[in-house]
Amino acid sequence: MGVDCGCSRRVICRLADEKMIPIAWSKAAEKTLRPALGNDKNLVRQEVKTGRARLFIHNELFIVARHEPAAMVYVAVAGRGLKRAIPAMVNYAVGNGYSKVRFHTKRPGKLLPKLNNLSVELVERKRNLLSRDEFIYKVNLI
């Protein structure tokens, strides 16, 4: 049985039973994640290879997650099927003892509508003169 994914149906969502499958770093993952990694590609690759972060696949979506003391951090997410993967991402965080998730994005207008009824809070906005601003969000899961 899955956790409440926050979807508009207000029920325990079957999609939360879908799993994020851990995988090794690959050229395909790196290529897909490239837009989400930006200048941190080498750092994130190294974190995954050393075990500081983990790489998952959920259908056609690549997800890099890192366990930190205060929150599960979704470092980079790219591919197809984010909306369908959100319940599994919530379930993974809660299943690992987290009540909060943190993520960064440069495209909140595309991302936030997919988070449905989850409790999302803007923590910080980093202004950038040469590219899009970066937005840091916290999601309270419980």
Q: Domains along the chain?
A: 14-140 (3.40.630.30)
Query: What pTM was computed for the model?
Result: 0.84
Query: Measured between alpha carbons, how far is residue 128 from residues 33, 77, 112, 135 in Å?
Result: 21, 21, 20, 11
The dihedral of CA 96, 79, 136, 120: what is its sign? Answer: negative
State both tokens at 112: 């936030």
**Is 24 in contact with 35 (CB distance < 8 Å)?**
no
Note the pLDDT of residue 17: 57
DSSP state of 36: H
Place 2 in a pLDDT band, splitting at 50, 70 and 90. very low
- pLDDT score of 96 more than 90: yes
Is pLDDT larger for residue 51 or for residue 14? 51
Coil vs helix vs strand at 130: coil
Least confident of 6-10, 22-26, 95-99: 6-10
- What are the φ and ψ backbone dihedral angles of 8, each rounded to 5 degrees? -65, -10
